[in-house]
Amino acid sequence: MSATPSPRDRRAWSFLLVLVCLIAYANGMTGTFTYDDKAVIRDNPRIRTPARIGEIFATPYFGGPRGSGTAYRPVLLLSYAAQWWVHGRVPEAFHLVNVLLHAAATLLLGALLVRVGVSPAAAGLTSLFFAVAPIHVEAVTSLVGRGETLGAVFLLAFLHVALGLAGSWRRFGRLLAALALYALGVLTKESAAVAPALLFLLLAWRERGGLGARLLASLRRGLPVFGGAAVVLAGTFVLRSWVLGGLLHAQGTGIFEVENPLAPLAGWPRVVNACLLLVRYAGRTLFPLHLSADESAWSIRTAPPASFAGLAAVGLLALLAARAVGRVAKGSHAALGVLFFGVAFLPAANVLYPIGTIFGERTAYLPSAGLCLALASVCARGAETLGDLAPGARAAAAVIAVAFSARTVLRNPVWWSDSAIFANSVNTSPESAKTHYNQGYIAVETGRPKEALAHYARAVSIYGDYWDAWAGKGRAEKELGLLSAAEASYRRALEANPTYENGFFGLGVVLEARGRFEEAEAAYRRGLASNPDSLPLAYRLAVVVSRRPDPGAAAAWKRALELGPRSAAVHADRADWLLRAGRPGEARQEARAALRLEPRAVGAHRVLARLAASGRRSLAEALAREKAWRASGDAEDLRALEEAARENRAYGARFERVLEEKAKGEGRRAKGALSGA
C-alpha cells in the first residue's frame, strides 16, 4: 500500500499544479473567438438568454432544426450559456474558465491515482506532466476544446464517486451522484461514455490476486455502477435519437472523406490505420515537436492493410496491451498507464467505428493521462513520495516539465486568431486539403483574392471532389474578374455534389455578373429543388425575376420573406421592386421594415430617397441619401448626395460638414496606413 500524502503536502502540491496551469496557459488567454468558437459561442443565439435554455436541449450542437445534426452536447452549450449570461461576449473570460477546468482535471487526476494506490511520487509527477503536456493546447486554448476538459472533469469525478461505492447497492445517494456525473459527462462530450470501462480498469488494478480473480472481483464490485451506467447511456441514446434523428447522427448525414479518409474503409483496413494513428498520438504526447491543428486529407495518408508499417503498429500495440495486462497483477504503474491510454481512447480512436476526424490532438486530452503516468513511473521508479526521488530522477522530471511547459507556451499563440491557426496549419500540414481551404477562406474574407485563389487551387489539387474548395475558388475568381473560370469552378463543385446549395448560389451570381439572367434563374430554381428552405437561393431568385415584368415576382418575394422574415436585405430589395412596380406605399413599409432590422440597410435608404424625390421633398431626399452614403461609402451614393444637396439650400450647410467629416476620416486612415508601414 502506497503512503498517503499529508494534508499539508496535498495542499502545497495542489497549489503548485494550479499555478503551473495558469502560467503555462497565460498567453493563451488573450485570444479571440476562432473557427468553431464563432458558431458555437460568439454567434449562437441559443446561449444569449435563460429564456432559450430549452433550445439548447432540443437542438443539435451546431444548431439547426431537430434531425439535422451530427453531435449533441447540451451540457457543454449550457456551460457557455451560463458564462454569457454573466459577462457576455468576453473571450478572455471563456479562456480563463477553460484553463480552470484544465486545472480541475489535473487535480482530480492526481487525487484519483493516489486513491487507487499509485505512489504519491508517480501520481504527483503524472499530474505535473499532464498539467503542461503540449498536446493539450487545442483542448485548453481553443474555446470549443472545452468539450474535452469539461467532459474529463465529469468523468474523473464519476470515477472518484464510483470507486467509493465498494460494490454496494445500498449507498443509493452515492450511486445516483455517480450516474448523474456520468450523464453530465456524456452530454458534454460523447467520448465520456468510456467512463465505466475505465472504472473497471481501476477496480481491477486495485484488487489483489491473479488476473482472473481481479477481473471477477472488479465486475462484482462495480456491478451497481455498470448496470446504472448502461441505463444512463441508453437514455442518452434515446435523447440523441430524438434530437438528431439517429443514434449517432442525423439520417442522410455522414462523415466527409476530407475530414476522415478512414470513414469509407472496411473494418480491418480501418483498424490497421487506426493503430498507426494511436502510435502517432503516443509520439505526439511524449515528443511534441510537431503539432498541427488540422491533418485531414491527405496530410495523413492511409496505409494498405498489409503494409509493413500498419502490421507493425498492430503488432506493437497488441504486444504492449498483452504485456500491460500481464503486469497489472504486479502493480506496475507503467502497465496501468498504457491500459488507461488504450481504454480511454476507444471512443475516438477510429478502431470500433469511424469518427468525424482522422486525427485531432484535442481527442488525446484524457487518454494522454495514461502516457503521463507511464512516463512518471519511469522517473519515480523506486520512490514512494516526491521527497524520495533520486537527484537524477528529479532532474529528469524537471527537464521534462520545463520542456513541456515551454512547448505549450510557444504553441498557445497559434489559437489567438483564425489567421494564426490557418497559417500554422498550412506550414505544419501542407498536404492537407482542408488547411489550404481554410487559408483560402481567411484570405478572401480579408480582401486577398489572389492569395485565396492559390490556396483553393491547391486544395482541389489535393482532393479533387472538394466541393467547398471549388466554390471558394469560384468566389476568388469572381472577385478577380475571372468570370469564365469562376463559372467553371462552381460547375465543378456541383459535379462533386449535385445538391450543393452554395454551388447553385455562386453559379447563379456569376451568371448574373455575365448578364445571363435566364441561366441564373434556372440555377437558382434547380438549387431550390434540392434545398427548398434555402433563403439565399430564394432571395436571389426573387431579385432576378424582379428584373423584368413577371407575374411570378410576387410569389418569389413571398417565398423569400417566408424563409427570411428577419432579413433586412430581403425587405430592402423587395421595397425596391415594389417601388419599380408602382406601389410606393408598400415600398415605404418594406423599407422601414428593413431599417428596423438593420438601421444601416443601404438599399432601404436608397428607396426612401427615391420616394422623397418623387414627392419633391428635397430635404428628406438629401437626408436619406446621406444615410445611404454613410452606410455604404460608395462613390455613386456620394454623387447622388451632392445632387440632392444642390436641390435643397437648407441642407447645404450640413453637406459642408459631411464633406469635412469625410476629409478628416480619410486623413486619419492615411495617417494610420503610414504609421503601419
Supply the DSSP string of 107-132, one letter for each residue. HHHHHHHHHTT--HHHHHHHHHHHHH
User: Same structural domain for residues 476 and 362?
Assistant: no
**Distance between CA atoms of 298 and 262, rounded to whole angstroms?**
11
The residue from 445, 470, 497 where one domain ends is: 497
User: Same structural domain for residues 202 and 232?
Assistant: yes
SS3 of 424-448? HHHHHCCCCHHHHHHHHHHHHHCCC
Handedness of CA 80, 84, 88, 94 (dihedral sign): negative
The residue from 497, 521, 546 where one domain ends is: 497
For the stretch 159-162, contacts whose Cβ atoms lie closer than 8 Å and that sit 24 or more positions apart, written own/partner, are 159/112, 159/195, 159/198, 159/199, 159/202, 160/108, 160/111, 160/112, 160/115, 162/199, 162/222, 162/225
SS3 of 342-385? HHHHHHHCCCCCCCCCCCCHHHHCCCHHHHHHHHHHHHCCCCCC
User: Same structural domain for residues 285 and 160?
Assistant: yes
385 and 5 Cβ atoms separated by less than 8 Å: yes
Q: In terms of C-beta density within 10 A (0-12 exposed, 13-18 middle, 19 or more buried), how is residue 230 classed?
A: exposed
User: Same structural domain for residues 437 and 399?
Assistant: no
292 and 428 Cβ atoms separated by less than 8 Å: yes
3-state secondary structure of 150: helix
Half-sphere exposure of 429 (CA within 13 A, CB side): 26
- Residue 427: count other Cβ atoms within 10 Å of its Cβ: 11
User: Same structural domain for residues 143 and 229?
Assistant: yes
Q: What is the DSSP letter of 207?
A: S
Q: How far is residue 499 from each of residues 300, 524, 525, measured CA to CA in Å? A: 29, 12, 12
Handedness of CA 131, 134, 136, 140 (dihedral sign): positive
Asked whether residue 540 is domain-assigned, the answer is no
User: Same structural domain for residues 42 and 167?
Assistant: yes
**Distance between CA atoms of 472 and 437, rounded to whole angstroms?**
8
**Distance between CA atoms of 217 and 319, rounded to whole angstroms?**
25
3-state secondary structure of 607: helix
Kindly report whether the peptide bond that precedes residue 205 is cis, defined as omega within 30 degrees of 0. Answer: no
The pLDDT value recorded for residue 3 is 64
Which residue, chain included where needed, has cell 432544426? Answer: 65
Q: Number of folded domains in the chain?
A: 2
Asked whether residue 341 is domain-assigned, the answer is yes
The pLDDT value recorded for residue 469 is 97
Nearest 5°: the CA angle 639, 644, 646 is: 100
Question: The domain that contains 488 carries what CATH number?
Answer: 1.25.40.10
Q: In terms of C-beta density within 10 A (0-12 exposed, 13-18 middle, 19 or more buried), how is residue 574 classed?
A: buried
The pLDDT value recorded for residue 674 is 43
User: Which pTM was predicted?
Assistant: 0.87
**Distance between CA atoms of 41 and 73, rounded to whole angstroms?**
13
The pLDDT value recorded for residue 661 is 73
Asked whether residue 188 is domain-assigned, the answer is yes
Asked whether residue 94 is domain-assigned, the answer is yes
Range of the domain at 446: 432-497
**Distance between CA atoms of 125 and 1, rounded to whole angstroms?**
18
Q: Which residues contact 662 (CB under 8 A, 6 or more apart)?
A: none
**Distance between CA atoms of 462 and 473, rounded to whole angstroms?**
14
User: Same structural domain for residues 237 and 352?
Assistant: yes
- Per-10-residue mean pLDDT of the chain, 677 residues long, equals 72 95 96 93 94 93 83 96 96 97 98 94 97 98 97 98 76 92 97 97 90 89 94 95 81 81 92 96 96 88 93 96 89 94 96 92 97 96 88 95 97 94 92 94 93 97 95 97 98 96 97 96 96 95 91 93 94 95 95 95 94 89 90 88 84 78 62 46
**Distance between CA atoms of 521 and 511, rounded to whole angstroms?**
9
User: Same structural domain for residues 448 and 331?
Assistant: no
**Distance between CA atoms of 112 and 123, rounded to whole angstroms?**
8
Asked whether residue 124 is domain-assigned, the answer is yes
**Distance between CA atoms of 373 and 127, rounded to whole angstroms?**
8
3-state secondary structure of 563: helix
The grid coordinates listed for 652 are: 447645404
**Distance between CA atoms of 3 and 447, rounded to whole angstroms?**
63
User: Same structural domain for residues 200 and 340?
Assistant: yes
Asked whether residue 580 is domain-assigned, the answer is no
> Max Cα separation, the chain?
100
Handedness of CA 514, 519, 525, 529 (dihedral sign): negative
Q: What is the DSSP letter of 565?
A: T
Asked whether residue 241 is domain-assigned, the answer is yes
User: Same structural domain for residues 400 and 493?
Assistant: no
User: Same structural domain for residues 391 and 443?
Assistant: no
3-state secondary structure of 30: coil
The pLDDT value recorded for residue 284 is 96
- Residue 207: count other Cβ atoms within 10 Å of its Cβ: 18
Asked whether residue 366 is domain-assigned, the answer is yes
User: Same structural domain for residues 376 and 459?
Assistant: no
